[in-house]
Amino acid sequence: MTVAGKQTHQIGLPWHWGYAGIATGDSANLLTRTWATPIAASRIQSLPLRPTQGVGAEHGEEEQTMTNSSESMGMLIDITQCMGCRGCQVACKQWQELKAEKTTFFGGAGYQNPPALSADTFTLITFTETEDENGLHWTFVKRSCMHCDEPACASVCPVGALTKEANGAVVYDADKCIGCRYCMLACPWSVPSYQWDSPVPFVRKCTLCNDRMQLGKAPACVLGCPTGALQFGRREDLLNEARARIAKHPDRYVDHIYGEKEAGGTSVMYLSAIPFTELGFRKCRHTRCPRMPSG
């Protein structure tokens, strides 16, 4: 793959495509922009979305926006199109202003780095090696919060610090949090993380870039994906798109949209060429979590 005149490789890339352009440095965290103008939060409304991203882009739409902030949005991740560049991982770090972590290579399940989601890493690309009759293959998967339709984390929170927004995002209110960490125990995917090294710790996780969504913009990770593996749009449209891909290419995909029914349905959904259990995805019940009684 050639990026900005440089030859890159899909494993251990020294280059990353962040939302602000090309960034270079350590293949996990230490980012030094080569030609990219940093974008401050105050300039959020001017941040464009590439027309190659999102459902409807093929029809020439210049920018994907939400017509109604109360619509349930979502993300479709086509694992077969992910090349492991970690552009989404970098874009998330940049937009959320998350600090770099001091990690150890091979500290996780293989080549992924950092080894796991944490209070400073909301998005992570996992590396999984599988084998079939044609030999060994790498599969790269973007992991983050699934943004459940009826989130278990919100269900167990006694103070309502976690809520499901009408636009699909599960958001956290630090002002309400009492630090009980029930959300960390309840999450089927062990997503919420705690700031263990902070004197005033909070729970941290992916927000689906709710601040951007409120302005009709797609999450930063979607913007940072150069292959179109991440699609952003209305959840129902994404489900229809996923079903159409499976029907058109039954030899390319397993007949399973992960997230359509898991935990009662999630805003983040996946397509894959191999069974999800082989990629470390948990089997989850298809029923929603009960809501915490109000009052």
Q: What percent of the chain has pLDDT over 70?
A: 71
pTM assigned to the model: 0.77
| pLDDT for 130 | 84
Residue 275 has pLDDT above 70, yes or no: yes
Average pLDDT of the segment spanning 203-231: 96
Contact 16, 22 (CB under 8 A): yes
Per-residue model confidence as pLDDT tens digits over 16-65: 444 444 444 433 333 323 223 333 333 333 333 333 344 333 333 334 44
What does the pLDDT read at residue 59?
31
Q: Summarize the confidence of residues 113-126 as an average pLDDT.
A: 93
Least confident of 2-16, 57-71, 130-144, 281-295: 2-16
> Closest by alpha carbon to 122, among 202, 188, 206?
206
Mean pLDDT, the chain, rounded, equals: 79
**Closest to 170 in 3D by CA, of 181, 160, 180:** 160
Summarize the confidence of residues 81-86 as an average pLDDT.
Answer: 95
What percentage of residues in the chain have a pLDDT greater than 90? Answer: 61
Side chain identity at residue 76, one-letter code? L
Given a cut of 50, whether residue 261 has pLDDT beyond it is yes
Q: How far is residue 77's CA from residue 277's CA, in Å, rounded to a whole number?
A: 16
- pLDDT at 291 (0 to 100): 56
How much is the pLDDT for 136? 87
Q: Domain 54-295: which CATH class?
A: alpha beta
Q: What is the mean pLDDT of residues 115-134?
A: 90
The two counts, helices (H) then strands (E), for the chain are 6, 14
- Asked if the model's pLDDT at residue 9 lies above 60, the reply is no
What is the pLDDT at residue 104? 75
Task: Retrieve residue 62's tokens.
Answer: 């210049």
- On the question of pLDDT at 272 being above 70, the answer is yes
CA 132/CA 136 separation, integer angstroms: 7
pLDDT tens, position by position, 172-194: 999 999 999 999 999 999 999 99
Q: Write the pLDDT tens digit of every residue in 151-179.
A: 999 999 999 999 999 999 999 999 999 99
Measured CA to CA, the distance from residue 108 to residue 26 in angstroms comes to: 17
- Predicted local distance difference test score (pLDDT) of residue 110: 66
pLDDT at residue 115 in the model:
86
Q: Residue 125 corresponds to which amino acid?
A: I
